[in-house]
Amino acid sequence: MTTSPWAPEYRRLSIGIVALVSVFGFEGIAIGAVMPVAAADLNAISNYAVAFTSFTMASLLGMTFAGLWANRIGLARVVIFAVAALAIGSLVAGFAPNLAVLTVGRSIQGFAMGIDLVTMYVVIGRMYPEALRAKALGMLAGAWVVPGLIGPGLAGLLVEISSWRMTFWIVPILLLGPIMLLVPELKKLPFVPSPLRSDSRLQITSVLIAIGALSIFQAGASHLGRWNSFLLAAIFFGSLGVTAWSTKALMPTGFLRAREGIPAVVGMRGVIAGAFFAAEIYVPLALQEIRGTSVALSGGVLTAATLTWFAGSWLQGSHKLKFSRQQVLFVGVLLTALGIGLIPVAVFAPIDITASALLASLVWGIAAFGMGLCFPTLGVLMLDQSPEEDHARHSASLQMSDSFGVIIATAIAGSVLAFASIHQGIESKTFVTIWIFCVLVGLSALLFIPKIQKKPTVLRERLNT
């Protein structure tokens, strides 16, 4: 029996998947490293979070598109569409004269990323047997290793010899190889077009409402300290309420209550994703703005995170690991929270800036290792508990939960930055406050672990008698 996604019958498909995800990985890691430079160049440090939340909001729309249309037009066409969108968005962002245009480009990129995230889960669910899915999901994490190794260094080199804009401009060129590898393999999958689900219009309407509400939430967060407090409170509670309402059509029934089974799996992904990524985007910014490190050196934190995330992902997929899914998630959450909690100590330690950046890389690697344990484990739980015809829908819900968590946590963290920029100025305690908030969010993920697997009906009946 085949025990590896790199067996001859799956090798070309696996290479294509890894190649495409690697380009998306380069886009995320390299741009994360140069974004402080871009924000400073565009005079937009106080609105730093917008470049990330706009990306993630647009990914929600991409996820909806992929979830609805993967069964309608075929996986190959969906992948082609995602590649085209990423190329166009990268060019727009690269030529951006101001934050508004950069936000448009980042939004197009985010739309492409949303499509890719869902589509890759569906490809793995349909084209690999159940016994290989954990390893195939771990392979997705492995696809970020090469971009993680070369991305920050290449980004730093491009900034030195040219501009941060080059980091966006080279993405379309990098996409040519992956699309030539992957699309022919996807076309081998038997395709029988199915009609759009009856709730497709409701799905699209709901995600647009969610994006609108979250955009208002982000606008309020960006103006903390400028707008009236009562107005901001109304914006925060109102927009979050509307967002919660919109999830009824986008998420599994019971999502807001974290009902056991898939709803709890989906909910936990959003919480842990929000904690980690909201913390991560401020690490390069703190190193560059407060400590004065270079793009390449601060980007080393992202390199370390990529490697340890892959290590954690590989470990959770190993047959030698004799722990339950719940135990793996418990350890993963604690390591993630520990890494976030230690990052201010590393970044602001009274040592040489090079040593500080290296220490931050080590500490952030701990957090990323925990995420490597959590993310694919939750993905496997979702696939195992879903019938095949629901893989696309539940994969979209899983990725949307990530996005909701990241947007809300990043916007709240960004409000701290915005408030500081118009009062005492951005300083070390600004980032410490952000990271303490992220630790608390991360630890709350522990509440979901007892609910991630649905109890058998017989056991449930016995427990109720």
Predicted confidence (pLDDT) per residue in 314-334, tens digit = 888 766 667 788 888 999 999
Mean pLDDT of 139-162: 81
d(CA 398, CA 448): 14
Residue ranges of alpha helices (H) inside 198-352 are: 200-222, 229-250, 262-280, 282-286, 295-317, 325-347
Mean pLDDT of 228-254: 88
Which has more pLDDT, 409 or 460? 409
Mean pLDDT of 382-387: 78
Q: Which of 101-105, 307-311, 358-362 has the lowest mean pLDDT?
A: 307-311
The Cβ-side half-sphere exposure at 263, using a 13 Å CA radius, reads 14
Residue type, 266: V
Mean pLDDT of 345-361: 91
Residue 400 above 90 pLDDT? no
d(CA 236, CA 78): 35
195's tokens: 């009609």
The Cβ-side half-sphere exposure at 88, using a 13 Å CA radius, reads 12
Residue 149 above 70 pLDDT? yes
d(CA 63, CA 398): 10
The CATH number linked to 385 is: 1.20.1250.20
Mean pLDDT of 164-187: 88
Structure confidence at residue 194 (pLDDT): 59
49's tokens: 């979070």
Q: Which residues contact 407 (CB under 8 A, 6 or more apart)?
A: 53, 56, 57, 214, 217, 218
Q: Are 378 and 401 in contact (CB under 8 A)?
A: no
Share of the chain above pLDDT 90, in %: 31
Q: Are 217 and 243 in contact (CB under 8 A)?
A: yes
Mean pLDDT of 31-43: 88
Structure confidence at residue 193 (pLDDT): 58
345's tokens: 């100590």
Q: Which segment, 164-173, 219-228, 379-388, is predicted with the most confidence on average?
A: 164-173
d(CA 325, CA 316): 9
Q: pLDDT tens digits for 205-221? A: 888 999 999 999 988 88
Structure confidence at residue 333 (pLDDT): 95
Which has more pLDDT, 428 or 342? 342
Residue 325 lies in a domain: yes
- Predicted confidence band of residue 463 (pLDDT cuts 50, 70, 90): very low
Query: How many domains does the chain contain in total?
Result: 1
Q: Which segment, 48-52, 152-156, 303-307, 371-375, is predicted with the most confidence on average?
A: 371-375
Q: Which residues contact 196 (CB under 8 A, 6 or more apart)?
A: 68, 69, 72
CB environment 368-401: b (16+ within 10 A), e (fewer): bbbbbbbbbbbbbbbbeebeeebbbbbbbbbbbb
Structure confidence at residue 190 (pLDDT): 65
Share of the chain above pLDDT 70, in %: 92
Residue 4 lies in a domain: no
Residue 3 lies in a domain: no
Q: pLDDT tens digits for 95-139? A: 999 989 999 999 999 999 888 877 887 788 778 887 787 778 778
Residue 247 lies in a domain: yes
- Predicted confidence band of residue 158 (pLDDT cuts 50, 70, 90): confident
Residue 2 lies in a domain: no
SS3 content of the chain, % helix, strand, coil (to 5): 80, 0, 20
Which has more pLDDT, 203 or 205? 205
The answer, as to whether pTM is greater than 0.75, is yes
Structure confidence at residue 460 (pLDDT): 43
d(CA 452, CA 449): 5
* CA dist list (Å): 160 to 42, 295, 400: 17, 9, 36
- Predicted confidence band of residue 88 (pLDDT cuts 50, 70, 90): very high
Structure confidence at residue 2 (pLDDT): 63
Average pLDDT, rounded, for the chain: 85
127's tokens: 């084209």
Structure confidence at residue 459 (pLDDT): 39
Residue 195 lies in a domain: no
Q: What is the dihedral of CA 44, 284, 86, 376, to 10 degrees?
A: -140
Structure confidence at residue 196 (pLDDT): 58
Q: Which residue range is the domain that position 374 belongs to?
A: 10-187+200-464
Residues 27, 408, 298, 376, CA torsion sign = negative
d(CA 81, CA 69): 11
Mean pLDDT of 273-296: 90
Q: Which of 86-95, 311-320, 405-414 has the lowest mean pLDDT?
A: 311-320
Which has more pLDDT, 149 or 402? 402
| Phi and psi based region of residue 20 (left: phi greater than 0; alpha: psi -120 to 50; beta: remaining) | alpha
- Predicted confidence band of residue 70 (pLDDT cuts 50, 70, 90): low
Residue 214 lies in a domain: yes
Residue 334 lies in a domain: yes
Structure confidence at residue 48 (pLDDT): 84
